[in-house]
Each structure stands twice: as C-alpha cells, then as structure tokens.
Structure 1
Amino acid sequence: MTAPAEQQDRAAFARQWAEWHARKDEALAGPHGFLAITSLNWLDETPTRFPDAPGAWSSTDEGVVVELADGEELAYEGETLRGRHNFGVPAERASLFPLAGDAAIEVARRGGYDILRPRHPENALRVSFTCTPAYEPDPRWAVPGRFTRFDAPRPTPVGAVVAGLEHVYDAVGQVEFALDGATYRLTAFDGHAPGTLQVLFTDATSGVTTYAANRSLTIDAPDAEGRVVLDFNRATNLPCAYTDLATCPLPPAENRLPVPVEAGERIPAEAQGHAPKSVPAA
C-alpha cells in the first residue's frame, strides 16, 4: 500500500533535514573545526609563546607577527615560514590558517582584538563528539515570511559571549513572519552564501531546552517580491554552545522572541561547565 502524499512529504522533509544536519555536524567536528580549538589567546605587543603553537606571537601596528625559533616552521599559502613573519592586520571576523604539522593555527581579529586559536585534530572535545541533539523536524516550523531591505545597511553593535567584547554587523533589513496569529520581526544580516540572510535570535526555549545565549538561522535568498521561508528546523547553535573558546555574537535586542520555537538544535552536552570569560584588561 502506498503511503498518503502528506506522509510521503513529511518523510522526505525529515530525510532532507537529517542529511543537512549530518553535514552541519561533520563541519563542526572537522579536523580543524571549532571542536578542535585548544586555546583562545589574546595577543598584545609583547611576543608570547603558547604551549599549543610554535613561535612567539604579538599584535603590532603592522599586523600579527610570529617569531619562529630555530627548528620551528609553519606552512602558509604554499610557503614554508621560518624566522619572523608578519601576517598583516586581519580583517574583522576573518581568519588565517597557517599549519603546524596536522594543526591549524588560527590568526584572527574579533571585536578589534587580535587572537590566536590553535586547532588540533586530537583535541578531546572533538574526539568525543557524537552529534548535536535537536527537535524532530516538523514542516509546520517552515514559516513563510517577507524580507524588507533597508535603504542602506545599518551598522548594528551586538554583545558577545565574551564580556567586554562587542561585534558590529551590518543589518541589511528585517524579516516579518507570523506564529500562532502574532506577527514578529527579526533583524537580518547578510549570510555566508551570496544572497542569503542570517538572523541571530533567542526565544522562550532559550536556556531551557535550547542554548541560552543565541541560535542562528540561515534564510535562502528572497524572491523578487521579498518572500522567504524561515525554516526553524534548521536553527543551529553557534560555536559558543560547544566550547568556551569562541567569541560568538549575541542577538540584537529586537531578536529576542517571547514565544517558544520548539524546533532546531537543542542544548548540546558540550554546553555544560563553560567558564565565564572576558577580554583582557588594556
């Protein structure tokens, strides 16, 4: 007997979600993914050594500098680096990844601070990871909405999970949608893929069944009339849900929904025992 069309559609929806979620977790737990990070180091003008990376690292007016001792080297952009090397000033929210053996030594800038985050494939957090818990996918949480673009991007300061750190994102518009008869609006930023949107949000499940600080939702590009679909089944944790070595942004104040969104990723086991963190004193 053939299953009813609605049942078939739900099965296909769940299968597509499962394939997407497996890819998402695979990237998170990749050899140099966020679960491989072994330390978060704030650089200053003093050359400093760290136990999980070769060289002495400093933040200068000209950029991030490493001074490699005899016998130390890094591989970067097809070259072998020895001695002193200046990586230049990293772009905000960009990362460079010189390699030291099987480790990637992330050089980045977050909130105006230069940081160093070594990523080692053998890190225990990565090795022990299995999967991220999530609500069962349900088509009713794929909600239609409409995107209204601002006349010009609006620089929007947001807090961070690191006390004293502030991120500034360019808000490009708002997404309006309805849940249970009420209308809500979320401020949206450009997504990682061209044309897509990203919203950071919390809701009434945050800190109960979902991670307290934030979740992220990527929205496919709006059509010519601004129509979008907010598939909350694909609401994901940011890296800070798994490790206290992340600098994740918090949602804008207007993106704190007063209703429960019982869809998407839930609190991971790795969220337990995070230590409070802050930027170093100037």
Structure 2
Amino acid sequence: MTSSTATVDAFVAEWQEWHRRHEEQRADPHGFLAVTGLHWLDGQPRRYPHAPGRWRTGPEGVVVVLDDGERLVVDGREVTGEHAFGPIAERDGVVVGVGDGVVEVARRGGRDILRPRRPDHPLLVDYRGTAAYPPSPRWVLPGRFVAFAQPQPTTVDAAVDVIRHVYDAPRRIEFEVDGLPLSLTAFPGHVPGTLSVLFADATSGVTTHPAVRSVAVAEPDARGRVTLDFNRATNLPCAYTDYATCPLPPAGNRLPIPVEAGEKLPHERWDATS
C-alpha cells in the first residue's frame, strides 16, 4: 500500500466514523426525528398533544399549569401545579421530561414554541439513515476569512413562514472550486470556536435538500486561513420534518456549482438518489 493510498484510506475512515456518530446523534430517542408537533404559544392557556398541562406565554415567559395527577420533570425535579420557565433567550430552550418522552420549550424568531418529542414517533421508529456522497478529498477546500468592519446583522428566512431569523455575520469565507472564485457568509456556530455556513447549490432539489444544507467551519488560524470540508455538509431538521424552524441560507449563499459532497435527500421526504 502506497503512502498516498494509506492517506486516502485514513481520510475515508475518519469520515465514516464522523458520519456514524452524526447518524447516531440524529436517531436519539429524544432528537428532532422524535418531534410530534410544533406549537406557537400565546397568552391564551391551551392544551397540546403529548404535553400535559395548559401552556401560555407573555412578558413573564412561558408558564404551564398542571392539573391534579399531571407532572413534569424539570432539571431532574418533579414539578406539579403551576411552573414558570421565565424568559427564554432567542435560539435557546429547555427540555423537560414527560414519561418516556420530553417536551422542548424554546424561543425561535422572537416567539415561544412548544415541541413534544416521543421515542415512538413513526418518523424516528422508521428512520433508515441518510444517504451521502462518497467522501472525496476534492471537496476539502482551503479558504480565507474576510472580516467585516463590524458584525452585520443579517436577516434570513425560516423553514416556516411565520418567523425570520436574525444573525450577526462575522465574516465571509472566500475560496475557489476549479479556479472559480466563490464566497459564503458564515454565522456563529452552535459549538464554541466554530462557524456555521448555510448554503444551497446546483444539486439542491436534485440530489440534495432543496432549501439548505449546513457545514461547520473551525475558526481561522493566525493568518486567516480556514478549511471548508463539504464532505461534512449535513441536512438540517427541516429536511426531515415540518416541525422545524431552520434558518435558510442568506442572500449570496447559493453556489452556482454542484457541490457533490455531503448528505443527500432523506428517504423520509423524497426517494433517495444514489
């Protein structure tokens, strides 16, 4: 075995392990495939399926009133009666226990939401995995960060029409594919020390999700260099369920080329393309 072959084999093995862990996380019994509904809270107390109690929200934040015999587990503690969650920060949330399921209480697009999650939800039970392009070093691309003078608040559409998301865009990433200069806006990532790039490309709606995929990018080195690994482009929850509020790519983040790397169309929504 040549050193070049060994390097490619190691690259493929590392990607396979990453993909295995990603699929394992996606199939968590309380993950987004277990979401049974998306409920927008307001000042009127209401009951929702798979969520005990009557729920409302207002200036004081989300409040639930549980009837006799109803219980939630919040921060490991069983609660009854009335429970106030307090104001929830944008893109934040808490998860409370309900029997063998959970209820997510969160804030998206300036509105408080409720999303029950059940391990017996058919979308999760029937999940068959997500197809992906074979990993290729061709799609591991060097890039360069270009900082804005000031973070620029950027508003993007969401997978649901009733909200929009606002992010600070710290920088753009400039890179090339086969000599073609391209760039993408990057937002703060979920993991500290990373950025998230939301994008679409010429495969969108053909072999990949029509609206959006995401790729995580580590912070640049001292010279502003970064690596874009499109082999690790992933679907967002909205690729699988209508109960997601995923952000869509900002203007300018639709690439004119086919990025034949990363995850493909989910079986759950469209026929898989191999």
Check whether TM > 0.5.
yes
* Residues matched between the structures, number: 271
In the alignment, which residue of structure 1 is the partner of 2:139? 141
In the alignment, which residue of structure 2 is the partner of 1:41? 39
- How far off its partner does 1:24 sit? 0.9
In the alignment, which residue of structure 1 is the partner of 2:213? 215
**Counterpart AA for 1:199:** V
Structure 1 counterpart of 2:68, from 62, 65, 70: 70
Structure 1 counterpart of 2:251, from 230, 250, 253: 253
Name the CA distance, whole Å, in 1 between partners of 2:111 and 2:188. 23
- How far off its partner does 1:50 sit? 1.1
The answer to whether structure 1 residue 79 and structure 2 residue 72 are counterparts is no
**Counterpart AA for 2:96:** P
In the alignment, which residue of structure 2 is the partner of 1:98? 96
- How far off its partner does 1:128 sit? 1.1
- How far off its partner does 1:148 sit? 1.8
In the alignment, which residue of structure 2 is the partner of 1:198? 196
After superposition, give the CA deviation of every residue in 1:1-59 in whole Å (9 maximum; x if it has no partner).
xx122111111111100100111111111011000101111111111111211111111
Name the CA distance, whole Å, in 2 between partners of 1:44 and 1:114. 8
Paired residues for 1:235-246 under 5 Å: 235-246=233-244
Show structure 2 runs of 5+ residues with no match.
Answer: none
- How far off its partner does 1:130 sit? 2.2
SS in 2 for 1:271: coil
Q: Percent identity?
A: 57
Structure 1 counterpart of 2:174, from 170, 173, 176: 176
In the alignment, which residue of structure 2 is the partner of 1:108? 106
SS in 2 for 1:17: helix
In the alignment, which residue of structure 2 is the partner of 1:167? 165
Name the CA distance, whole Å, in 2 between partners of 1:170 and 1:153. 6
Q: More strand by proportion, 1 or 2?
A: 2
In the alignment, which residue of structure 2 is the partner of 1:51? 49
CA contact (8 A) 2:128 2:267 kept: no
User: Over aligned residue pairs, what C-alpha RMSD do you find?
Assistant: 1.1
SS in 2 for 1:154: strand
Show structure 1 runs of 5+ residues with no match.
Answer: 274-282
In the alignment, which residue of structure 2 is the partner of 1:117? 115
- How far off its partner does 1:221 sit? 1.8
Name the CA distance, whole Å, in 2 between partners of 1:51 and 1:104. 12
After superposition, give the CA deviation of every residue in 1:168-225 in whole Å (9 maximum; x if it has no partner).
0110101000011111110011112222111000000000000001000001121101
**Counterpart AA for 1:167:** H
Structure 2 counterpart of 1:226, from 209, 224, 227: 224
In the alignment, which residue of structure 2 is the partner of 1:280? none
Structure 2 counterpart of 1:155, from 149, 153, 156: 153
Name the CA distance, whole Å, in 2 between partners of 1:105 and 1:84. 16
TM-score, scaled relative to structure 2: 0.96
TM-score, scaled relative to structure 1: 0.94
Answer with 146-155 or 102-111: which moved more: 146-155
Name the CA distance, whole Å, in 2 between partners of 1:146 and 1:252. 19
CA contact (8 A) 2:175 2:183 kept: yes
Name the CA distance, whole Å, in 2 between partners of 1:108 and 1:82. 20
Name the CA distance, whole Å, in 2 between partners of 1:256 and 1:164. 23
Spell out structure 1 runs of 4+ moving beyond 3 A.
none
- How far off its partner does 1:98 sit? 1.0
